[in-house]
Amino acid sequence: MAVCTRCKLGDRLTSLGRHWRTLSVDGRAEAPHLAPPVLCDARYSPPVGLLALGGGLLVTGSLLGLPVVAGGLVWLTAVRNSAFEAYRRYGEWKRKLICARCDLMLLP
C-alpha cells in the first residue's frame, strides 16, 4: 500500500483519475493541472495517401515519386510519434496517485 510522503498516511490516497471524476465543475475549473492530458487525434490517412501517390509515381517511372515517398514517410513517422507521446502522457496520468488530505501527487 502506498503512503503519502508528506503526511505519512495512506488512508486518503487515491488515483488521480478517480480524484478528477469526484471533483465538481468548480473544482475542475480551479485545478486544471489535474486534468487528463488530451489524446492526440492521429490522422494516418493523409500521410498514407501521400505514400500511395509517391508509389504510383514511382511505378509510372517518374523520379518525382522518391521525394514524395520520403515526405510521406517523414510525415507518417511524425504522426506516429506524436500519438505515442500522447498515450505515454495519458498512461503516466493514470498511474499517478494523489493524497486528498494534502494534495501531494505521487508517481508510483
Whole-number pLDDT of residue 34: 86
Rounded CA-CA distance 108/105 in Å is 10
101: cell is 488530505
Q: Where are the domains of the chain?
A: 13-106
Average pLDDT rounded to a whole number, residues 21-37 = 87
Whole-number pLDDT of residue 12: 79
Angle between helices 65-95 and 45-59 (to 10 degrees): 160
| Residues in contact with 87: Cβ distance below 8 Å, sequence separation at least 6, in sequence order | 39, 40
Record the pTM: 0.71
CB atoms within 10 A of CB 87: 14
- Residue 17's pLDDT band, with cuts at 50, 70 and 90, is confident
DSSP 50-108: HHHHHHHHHHTT-TTHHHHHHHHHHHHHHHHHHHHHHHHHHHHHHH-EEETTT--EE--
- Residue 1's pLDDT band, with cuts at 50, 70 and 90, is low
